[in-house]
């Protein structure tokens, strides 16, 4: 049985889980369209963090109750995160301060296996966290870096150029699942297939896609993947997944007493245990959403496991966000002087997530963002660390205005944003 898009009642149920959404600015409900830089969190995440501090705040590996209880919670968080990315091996999950830190650590380790003459492929479309770590590691190893350009008319990757760059010397391809700036969804399955065809490893940045689309490392057949929980309704914690064999074989930069076994091998120092527990709560929120939509679609949910529930949740979320994106898209296209960067054809809605970057011919990005913020509508401006893309589009140093929709946003909020924007521009 197929899962339909989230209903208005299901969206309202979701909104009730997020206490931040009740905030008011100048007597009006705040409209959170800043999700690409970090989503709000449900109450259960707040409670999980606070409960950890209250009940079992202890370091790892102690032979006393609070430490044992803490370790049990952390083990379950690893299990939840592995199911979230589509793995069945909790040992393949490493937590860290953020995706950037985890990627820098992995790039340093991988860089030790490269040599002069090896080639690394990155893209113009990516967040700098999936660009600079690999460029720096290649520099230290004497490897060559190739950069896949974007097609400026629609901000998609030039796959013909990418294919021509691949060779027997290619060691790694690093690419994002979706652009955090303009919302482009990359064809990662095809990219991975081509890269594996020449023996290269593939690292995926799923930070921006994780709130919008199901992550599935097994189906995609990637080698490494990183994401950030604070982009999918959790705390400020990064998640790294890698194939067990690769994580076991690669030399990690770590302290001498730290374990050589997974997952501890790739988690330097004492982690933010309370935040890792919060990650599990965020994933379980999504799973509960999935169970609700599955039940209302007529499915039997008594034995619906976490991964199956996540599949149901993302099916409903993706469809719902697509309808929001179409509503926003239609409105933006009617605003005089406004340019939508990236894919701007309604028939190609499936090629992007509900993230839009815009500019206006008469008003700067900071001016628009500030005016909208004063009206209680939160959007971002700048380059959002997608520096190469911003430079390629000629948008430095001002950048663009980014409007990001997630499943707790509503059609009414889209309409209010558009009405406010039109009023400001008049």
Categorise residue 203: left if φ over 0, alpha if ψ from -120 to 50, beta otherwise: beta
Residues lower than pLDDT 70 in the chain = 1
Question: What one-character-per-residue DSSP string does 103-160 give?
Answer: HHHHHHHHHTT--TT-EEEEETTS-GGGTHHHHHHHHHHT-EEEEEPEETTTTEE-HH
What per-residue confidence (pLDDT) applies to 1?
A: 59
Of 152, 213, 226, nearest to 187 by C-alpha is: 213
Report d(CA 320, CA 173) in Å as an integer. 32
Report d(CA 407, CA 100) in Å as an integer. 25
Report d(CA 62, CA 415) in Å as an integer. 54
Does the pTM surpass 0.85? The reply is yes
Q: Which residues contact 369 (CB under 8 A, 6 or more apart)?
A: 379, 380, 381, 401
What per-residue confidence (pLDDT) applies to 346?
A: 85
Read off the DSSP letter of residue 408.
Answer: T
Report d(CA 248, CA 164) in Å as an integer. 32
Question: What one-character-per-residue DSSP string does 271-329 give?
Answer: --HHHHHHHHHHHHHHHHHHHHHHHHTT---TT--HHHHHHHHHHHHHHHHHHHHHHHH
What per-residue confidence (pLDDT) applies to 303?
A: 79
The string of pLDDT tens digits covering residues 105-137 is 999 999 999 999 999 999 999 999 999 999 999
Domains of the chain: 8-42+308-425 (3.90.1150.10), 46-280 (3.40.640.10)
Secondary structure percentages of the chain, helix, strand, coil, to 5? 45, 15, 35
């Amino acid at each position: 049985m197929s899962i339909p898009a989230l209903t208005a009642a299901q969206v309202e149920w979701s909104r009730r889980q997020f206490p931040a959404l009740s905030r008011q600015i100048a007597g009006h409900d705040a409209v959170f369209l800043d999700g690409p830089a970090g989503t709000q969190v449900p109450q259960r995440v707040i409670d999980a963090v606070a409960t950890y501090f209250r009940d079992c705040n202890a370091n790892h590996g102690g032979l006393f109750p609070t430490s044992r209880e803490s370790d049990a919670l952390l083990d379950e968080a690893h299990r939840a995160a592995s199911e979230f990315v589509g793995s069945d091996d909790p040992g393949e999950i490493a937590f860290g301060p953020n995706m950037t830190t985890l990627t820098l650590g992995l790039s340093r380790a991988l860089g030790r296996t490269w040599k002069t003459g090896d080639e690394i492929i990155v893209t113009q479309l990516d967040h700098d966290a999936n660009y600079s770590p690999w460029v720096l590691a290649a520099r230290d190893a004497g490897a060559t870096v190739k950069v896949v350009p974007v097609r400026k008319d629609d901000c998609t990757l030039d796959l013909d150029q990418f294919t021509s760059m691949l060779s027997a010397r290619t060691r790694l391809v690093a690419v994002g699942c979706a652009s955090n700036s303009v919302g482009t969804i990359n064809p990662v399955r095809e990219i991975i297939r081509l890269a594996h065809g020449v023996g290269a490893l593939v690292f995926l940045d799923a930070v921006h896609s994780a709130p919008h689309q199901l992550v599935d490392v097994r189906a995609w057949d990637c080698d490494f993947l990183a994401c950030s929980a604070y982009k999918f309704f959790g705390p400020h914690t990064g998640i790294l997944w890698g194939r067990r064999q690769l994580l076991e074989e690669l030399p990690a930069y770590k302290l001498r007493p730290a374990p050589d076994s997974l997952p501890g091998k790739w988690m330097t120092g004492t982690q933010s245990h309370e935040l890792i527990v919060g990650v599990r709560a965020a994933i379980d929120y999504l799973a509960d959403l999935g169970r609700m939509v599955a039940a209302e679609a007529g499915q039997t949910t008594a034995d619906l496991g976490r991964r199956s529930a996540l599949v149901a949740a993302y099916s409903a979320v993706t469809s719902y966000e697509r309808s929001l994106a179409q509503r926003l898209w239609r409105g933006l296209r009617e605003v005089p002087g406004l340019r939508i960067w990236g894919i701007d054809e309604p028939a190609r809605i499936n090629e992007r997530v509900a993230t839009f970057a815009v500019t206006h011919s008469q008003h700067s990005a900071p001016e628009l963002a500030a005016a909208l913020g004063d009206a209680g509508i939160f959007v971002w401006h700048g380059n959002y660390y997608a520096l190469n893309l911003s430079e390629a589009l000629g948008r430095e140093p001002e950048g663009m205005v980014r409007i990001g929709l997630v499943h707790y946003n509503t059609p009414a909020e889209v309409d209010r944003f558009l009405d406010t924007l039109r009023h400001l521009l008049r």
